Amino acid sequence: MSSILIAIVVLLVLASVFGIILGFAAVRFRVEGDPIVEQIDALLPQTQCGQCGYPGCKPYAQAIADGDAINKCPPGGQSTIDALADLLDVDAIPLDAEHGEEKPKTVAYIREDECIGCTKCIQACPVDAILGAAKQMHTVIVSECTGCDLCVEPCPVDCIDMIPLPVTPANWKWPAPVSDPSLILTDRGRGQLLQGASQ
Amino acid sequence: MSRIFSFHGGIHPPENKKQSLGADIRLAPIPTQLILPLQQHIGKAALPCVTIGERVLKGQKIAEANGRISSSLHAPSSGIVTYIGPQPVPHASGLESDCIVIDTDGLDEWTALSPILDYQSMNKMDLINHIRDLGIAGLGGAGFPTDVKLHLGDDHIVNTLIINAAECEPYITADDALMRERSDEVLAGIEIIAHLLKPSHILIGIEDNKPQAIKALDHALRTSTLNIDICVVPTKYPSGGEKQLIQLLTGIEVPSGSIPADIGIVCQNVGTTAAIYRAIFKGEPLISRVVTLTGYALGHRQNYEALIGTPFTTLLEAAEVNRKALFRLVMGGPMMGISVNDERIPVIKTTNCIIAATKDEMPPAQPAQPCIRCGMCEQVCPASLLPQQLFWFAQGREFEKAKHHNLFDCIECGACAYVCPSNIPLVQHYRFAKSEIRTEEFEQQKASHARIRFEARQARLEREAAEKELRRKERAEAAAKQQAERKLAEAAPKEVSTDEEKATQLKQLKTAASVARTKLKKANDALKNAREKGLEGIDKLEATILLLEQKANEAQQAWIDAGGEQN
């Protein structure tokens, strides 16, 4: 009988000790905010373009955490979807065409002669990448521009172009080696021969 | 002679060095146009400090180093700057980059030079700045600004200085020729570096296929008081790789992600030492280098002392190129070099070799076949990686895994591709994977930067809105206060003080009374009119008239009270 009592007492003591430790840890190591939202947000391209239908990347990250689809981000494209799928352990799905398509990276360019200095694009820019003042010519800080397109629409004189980033030796990427589809050496060139014969 | 160790892997490709060693270093002709890319080194591109149309002298600085890791640029010959802008440059991409173009005048007129003869008594900092000022960058291949390496003694304990004279890549003999003919310059350069870094011993790593260079160095060393060892290593590619040479000479492996200085070693190329000698003793900036011109499409296969910025065309013509036989033009060696299509590109600080190969010499690559997992690549990898595994990851775009398999320790030596029985262009796959990973990392960085900016903007907008709200509230409060004060003032009986004010007030009252009377009269007329015509709303009019009568009376009374009748 006493052994049962001892067991119960020991278990109770253990339970209370661990309870205290857990309770302390819950207060001491409390995580502010939802860590998964932060992780999702870190994967999104931070263009803040709103093409997903949310007013920025963070709200979309929140929405994904709440169960929204992961394929609504055209600037991130397939690589972002893959990364999100990897993080959330769901299947990677193709980009939802409803929200736009994956385009090459662009930056905004203001045709400065035509700019009337209305400051509307400055107000639209989510990352403060446009410099200028009322009735003064505006210009884009290229290194800060995320290419979100948001400044194009408010411009009353349509003087903003989205131009693709130029490829320079500094940002040039090695291309993937193309693998030859004809695996057998003697097959090479046969397709051309056949084509030549049919003509 | 100290003990020689070994490194993993390595290959023995045909050397093909004899062809270019038949003659001494020849001076290449001064081209009519010199093209000087602003980016010839690792780090930031230099900033031009000359303008179009300006005449520059040989050795004059034309572009300033921009930032800590950067190198300045000097005019290799006298002439006029005719263009600053994009030009084809020696880069794997074949793209254009900013260059300074000088039309030479053939006079080759030097600017004033400032040699330092007694460098030992000079402040080290000034000495290194002098080297930086003269645009010295590593001539071995990477083009790392030399002054940065010479500063390593500040925060690292440098006990070994290794001079890389291995020159392991086939065809290239530029360093070999330099050591044969200018071993005293090399040695003087080593002495300067030793003075700056104060290493306890100095090792010159050289492959055993350069007996004449070894002899020349040995001869020069007899006069030196420094503790210098010539370490002859067996010929094996890539023993000239920095980390491989360190392992060969010291037996120490540089840890992944570290630099040699972390284990107390600094490496310098033998060509760089000669350039340092010239910078100090002659005050000459880095404006020329030894370039090997070889390949069976050339009539004269030998080493040339070429000005930096000399277009390949000039050199090929000087070497009597047979354009019919020329099949492939390679910059660098056959293992690590890149094929170039544009002959206009110039020699830069890192151009050690130009191979004009015939079709027999460098036939087009065989088609790649599937990997059969033979493991030969693993056996030759000098970095002890798993090339076949990296290949699978690169092909399957599993870059994260490739990174975990230490893809970035790959030195792209090409030994794996050389032995691959399936002719897989392995190095291309690694380069592709590396640049994909780098781009992704860059984009990640840019995204987090954008997020910071976005959040800062959001916070600013909120703060501004709050401030606006606060101001609005303050204004509303102030307005309410004013209103209350005004009401208070109105409620209090007005003390009329002066006669003038009294008169004005009286006048106002009189006007008010007469206005009220007129209004009453008009209303009466309207009433009369309405009665005559039998219009609707008579009751309303009557009520209005009553009100107006009352008001008129009040106004009259006020006027009388104020003393109006008396006037």
Residues of B in contact with A146 (CB under 8 A): 446, 450
For B340, the token pair is 């170039």
User: Which one is the CATH code of B18-27+115-357: 3.40.50.410, 3.40.50.11540, 3.40.50.2300, 3.60.21.10?
Assistant: 3.40.50.11540
pLDDT band at A186 (very low <50, low <70, confident <90, very high): low
Q: What are phi and psi of B44, to 5 degrees?
A: -85, 150
Residue B429 has pLDDT above 60, yes or no: yes
**Is B446's CB within 8 Å of A172's CB?**
no
Q: In terms of pLDDT, which residue wins out, B553 or B181?
A: B181
The predicted model gives B369-390 an average pLDDT of 94
**Is B95's CB within 8 Å of A182's CB?**
no
Q: Are residues A45 and A80 in the same domain?
A: yes
**Residue B422 CB partners (closer than 8 Å, separation 6+):** B368, B369, B370, B371, B372
Q: Are residues A53 and A85 in the same domain?
A: yes
Q: Which tens digits make up the pLDDT trace of B438-467? A: 998 998 899 889 989 998 999 999 999 999
The stretches of B134-228 forming alpha helices (DSSP H) are 146-150, 152-155, 174-181, 183-197, 211-221
Residue B498 has pLDDT above 90, yes or no: no
By CA distance, what is B90's nearest residue in A? A169
The predicted model gives B398-406 an average pLDDT of 92
Q: Where are the domains of chain B?
A: 18-27+115-357, 369-475, 500-561
**Is B95's CB within 8 Å of A169's CB?**
yes
Confidence at residue B495, expressed as pLDDT on a 0 to 100 scale: 56
Structural contact between residues B15 and B209, judged by C-beta atoms closer than 8 angstroms: yes
Selected for mutation to probe chain B from A47, A60, A168, A186 (highest B CB count within 10 Å) is: A168
**Is A188's CB within 8 Å of B436's CB?**
no
By CA distance, what is B423's nearest residue in A? A179
How do the residues of chain B divide into helix, strand and coil, expressed in percent and rounded to 5?
Answer: 45, 15, 40
Q: Are residues A126 and A153 in the same domain?
A: yes
A45 belongs to a structural domain: yes
Q: A24-33, A118-127, B87-96, B167-176 — which is least confidently predicted?
A: A24-33
pLDDT band at A198 (very low <50, low <70, confident <90, very high): very low
A23 belongs to a structural domain: yes
Provide the mean pLDDT of chain B.
90
Residue B265 has pLDDT above 80, yes or no: yes
The predicted model gives B140-154 an average pLDDT of 86
CA dist., res. A165 & res. A54, Å (int): 26
Residue A189 has pLDDT above 80, yes or no: no
**Is B446's CB within 8 Å of A146's CB?**
yes
CA dist., res. B132 & res. B66, Å (int): 11
Q: Is A57 annotated as a binding residue?
A: yes
A194 belongs to a structural domain: no
**Is B368's CB within 8 Å of A177's CB?**
yes
CA dist., res. B494 & res. B466, Å (int): 43
Selected for mutation to probe chain B from A37, A40, A43, A46 (highest B CB count within 10 Å) is: A46
Element housing B307 (H / E): strand B302-307
Q: Are residues A41 and A95 in the same domain?
A: yes
CATH, residue A89: 1.10.15.40
Q: Are residues A61 and A86 in the same domain?
A: yes
A178 touches chain B (CB under 8 A): no
For A99, the token pair is 């929200």
Share of chain B above pLDDT 70, in %: 98
Share of chain B above pLDDT 90, in %: 68
Residue A181 has pLDDT above 60, yes or no: no
Q: Are residues A65 and A93 in the same domain?
A: yes
Q: B141-150, B270-279, B306-315, B523-532 — which is least confidently predicted?
A: B523-532
Confidence at residue A199, expressed as pLDDT on a 0 to 100 scale: 40
Choose one of A83, A99, A115: the last residue of a domain.
A99
Q: Is A145 annotated as a binding residue?
A: yes
What residues of chain B have any CB closer than 8 angstroms to a CB in chain A? 39, 89, 91-93, 95, 97, 366-370, 425, 428-429, 431-432, 434-436, 439-440, 442-444, 446-451, 453-454, 456-457
**Is B450's CB within 8 Å of A144's CB?**
yes
pLDDT band at B213 (very low <50, low <70, confident <90, very high): very high
Confidence at residue B33, expressed as pLDDT on a 0 to 100 scale: 94
pLDDT band at A121 (very low <50, low <70, confident <90, very high): very high
Residues of A in contact with B446 (CB under 8 A): 46, 146
A183 belongs to a structural domain: no
A45 touches chain B (CB under 8 A): yes
Q: Is A159 annotated as a binding residue?
A: no
Confidence at residue A194, expressed as pLDDT on a 0 to 100 scale: 46
A104 touches chain B (CB under 8 A): no
Q: Which residue has the tokens 């087009």?
A: B364
A186 belongs to a structural domain: no
pLDDT band at B564 (very low <50, low <70, confident <90, very high): low
The predicted model gives B475-495 an average pLDDT of 85
Q: Are residues A117 and A88 in the same domain?
A: no
The predicted model gives B220-247 an average pLDDT of 91
DSSP string, A22-84: HHHHHHHTPPPS-HHHHHHHHHS------TTSSSSHHHHHHHHHTT--S---TTTHHHHHHHH
Confidence at residue B307, expressed as pLDDT on a 0 to 100 scale: 95
Q: How many Å lie between the alpha carbon of B89 and the closest alpha carbon of chain A?
A: 9
The predicted model gives A94-107 an average pLDDT of 84
**Is A127's CB within 8 Å of B454's CB?**
yes
Residue A184 has pLDDT above 80, yes or no: no
For B127, the token pair is 């000495």
Counting one residue from chain A and one from chain B, the pairs whose CB atoms sit within 8 A come to 82
- From the list B432, B424, B297, the residue with the least C-alpha distance to B354 is B297
CA dist., res. B187 & res. B223, Å (int): 10
A178 belongs to a structural domain: no
A42 touches chain B (CB under 8 A): yes
The count of C-alpha atoms lying within 13 angstroms of the C-alpha of B396, restricted to the half-sphere facing its C-beta, is 10
The predicted model gives A49-78 an average pLDDT of 88
Confidence at residue A36, expressed as pLDDT on a 0 to 100 scale: 87
pTM of the model: 0.79
Q: Is A148 annotated as a binding residue?
A: yes
pLDDT band at B210 (very low <50, low <70, confident <90, very high): very high
Burial B108-126 (b: 16+ CB within 10 A, else e): eeeeeeeebeebeeeebee
**Is A176's CB within 8 Å of B446's CB?**
no
The predicted model gives B398-404 an average pLDDT of 91
CA dist., res. A78 & res. A63, Å (int): 19
By CA distance, what is B431's nearest residue in A? A174
Provide the mean pLDDT of chain A.
85
Confidence at residue A187, expressed as pLDDT on a 0 to 100 scale: 58
CATH, residue A142: 3.30.70.20
A181 belongs to a structural domain: no
Packing angle between helix B183-197 and helix B174-181, nearest 10 degrees?
Answer: 100
| Nearest neighbour of B428 by CB, restricted to A127, A174, A188 | A174
ipTM: 0.77
Element housing A161 (H / E): strand A160-164
The predicted model gives B41-50 an average pLDDT of 92
The predicted model gives A86-97 an average pLDDT of 87
A177 touches chain B (CB under 8 A): yes
**Is A41's CB within 8 Å of B451's CB?**
yes
Q: Are residues A128 and A154 in the same domain?
A: yes
Let me know the angle formed at the C-alpha of B271 by B310 and B296, rounded to the nearest 5 degrees: 55
pLDDT band at B562 (very low <50, low <70, confident <90, very high): confident
**Is A45's CB within 8 Å of B428's CB?**
no
Give residue A4's domain range.
1-30
CA distances from B336 to A106, A154, B417 (A): 33, 51, 11
The count of C-alpha atoms lying within 13 angstroms of the C-alpha of B116, restricted to the half-sphere facing its C-beta, is 22
Q: What are phi and psi of B110, to 5 degrees?
A: -75, 150
Residue B51 has pLDDT above 90, yes or no: yes
A52 belongs to a structural domain: yes
| Nearest neighbour of B428 by CB, restricted to A47, A177, A185 | A177
Q: Name the domain count of chain A.
A: 3
Residue B497 has pLDDT above 60, yes or no: no
Residues of A in contact with B368 (CB under 8 A): 177, 179-180
